[in-house]
């Protein structure tokens, strides 16, 4: 179970008030004041501020000492649409590092009917078992350290959306982003991308970035073998790249639930994808109400931050409505939209 330590909100001028996303600017359309979050709703998602360390005494397939420091900046080039490739130190990790992690409970807030989150993973494909790939994927050496900040200094923010693409919600999110000339990074489930290649094309046509988010959204991925992790990371990379086209580039890998380990980070970096964390968790996947989503963002937001939201994995009406308000308020507060650093 995740323990979250909230960051003190950075005061940002928004008209005559500060950027309190539940109080500043226009009221949230069609919503009542947010009720306190139900105590019974808990998040089994991991906090991606440090690798998960398991108490299991059995030999592991990776060595933590061989992994780069999670605080090390990346010198690799950023996406061409991002103004700068140098990661900013403005947004430091906000939550306490995890020292051990018992197996989390199965998440119950995502509808069980969603196929990506419920089906069992098949064995690794022949391509990943043998080290060969059926689709050429550009691989450039990148840092294996977790990325926690944008690629720009100043009042910048990186919007990220997980678990899509979804034909119900991804187009609505793209429309809102276009209205505000905002860019975002879409962390996609491999089979979802394969099922909706036109949405992947639409994301790229809008100038947004792609991120690998695994094949089966297994939030206990770090418990599994290196072969299983290669399957989840590399096969999803190929599925998304095939949907996007041969000239596309996947810039990042985000482990489901932030369940990173040194092995997972090294596999991703070895295939040209920077391990991607976040500093602002909207917790929109719980569907706690628009006001609560905005409050969660406001509590942790500061310049250089990476905001986690979702365009798939379940009903995202609250996410769409919250994003509409959030973009208005970020614009009023003088934020610019960019990509995570690489």
Catalytic residue check, 311? no
**Catalytic residue chosen out of the listed positions 51, 101, 114, 162:** 162
Evaluate whether 298 touches 269 at the Cβ level (below 8 Å).
no
Backbone angles phi, psi at 239, to 5 degrees: -65, -45
Catalytic residue check, 148? no
Q: Rounded to the nearest 10 degrees, what angle do helices 170-179 and 317-332 cross at?
A: 10
Query: Maximum Cα–Cα distance for the chain, whole Å?
Result: 61
Evaluate whether 236 touches 212 at the Cβ level (below 8 Å).
yes
d(C-alpha 93, C-alpha 286), whole Å: 22
End-to-end CA distance of the chain: 29
**Catalytic residue chosen out of the listed positions 166, 238, 310, 328:** 310
Evaluate whether 303 touches 90 at the Cβ level (below 8 Å).
yes
Write a three-state SS string for the chain: CCCCCCCCCCCCEECCEECCCCCCCCCCCCCCCCCCCCCCCCCCCCCCCCCCCCCCCCCCCCCHHHCCCCCCCCCCCCCCCCCCCCCCCCCCCCCCCCCCCCCCCCCCCCCCCCHHHHCCCCCCCHHHHHCCCCCCCCCCCCCCCCECCECCCCCEEEEEEEEECCCCCHHHHHHHHHHCCCCEEEEECHHHHHHCHHHHHHHHHCCCEEEECCCCCCCCHHHCCHHHHHHHHHHHHHHHHHHHCCCCCEEEECCHHHCCCHHHHHHHHHCCCEEECCCEECCHHHCCCHHHHHHHHHHHCCCCEEEEEECCCCCCHHHHHHHHHHHHHHHHCCCEECCECC
Give the residue numbers annotated as catalytic, written as ranges: 162, 310
């Amino acid at each position: 179970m995740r323990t979250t330590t909230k960051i003190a909100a950075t005061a940002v001028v928004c008209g005559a008030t500060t950027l309190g996303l539940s109080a500043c600017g226009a009221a949230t359309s069609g919503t009542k004041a947010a009720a306190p979050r139900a105590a019974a709703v808990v998040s089994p998602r991991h906090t991606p501020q440090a690798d998960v360390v398991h108490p299991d005494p059995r030999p592991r397939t990776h060595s933590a000492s061989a992994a780069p420091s999670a605080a090390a900046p990346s010198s690799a080039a950023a996406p061409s649409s991002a103004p700068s490739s140098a990661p900013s130190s403005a947004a430091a990790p906000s939550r306490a590092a995890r020292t051990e992690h018992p197996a989390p409970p199965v998440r119950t807030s995502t509808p069980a009917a969603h196929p990506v989150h419920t089906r069992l993973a098949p064995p690794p494909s022949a391509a990943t078992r043998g080290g060969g790939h059926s689709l050429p994927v550009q691989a450039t050496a990148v840092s294996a350290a977790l990325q926690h900040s944008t690629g720009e200094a100043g009042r910048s923010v990186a919007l990220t959306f997980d678990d899509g693409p979804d034909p119900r919600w991804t187009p609505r999110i793209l429309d809102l982003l276009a209205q505000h000339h905002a860019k975002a990074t879409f962390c996609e489930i491999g089979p979802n991308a394969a099922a909706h290649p036109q949405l992947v094309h639409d994301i790229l046509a809008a100038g947004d970035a792609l991120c690998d988010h695994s094949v089966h959204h297994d939030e206990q991925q770090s418990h599994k073998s290196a072969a299983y992790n290669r399957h989840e990371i590399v096969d999803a990379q190929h599925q998304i790249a095939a949907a996007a086209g041969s000239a596309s580039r996947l810039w990042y890998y985000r482990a489901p639930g932030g369940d990173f380990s040194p092995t997972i980070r090294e596999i991703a970096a070895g295939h040209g994808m920077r391990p991607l964390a976040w500093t602002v968790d909207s917790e929109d996947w719980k569907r706690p109400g628009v006001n609560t989503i905005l409050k969660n963002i406001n509590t942790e937001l500061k310049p250089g931050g990476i905001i986690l939201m979702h365009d798939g994995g379940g009903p995202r009406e609250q996410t769409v409505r919250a994003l509409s308000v959030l973009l208005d308020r970020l614009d009023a507060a003088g934020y610019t939209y960019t990509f995570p650093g690489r």
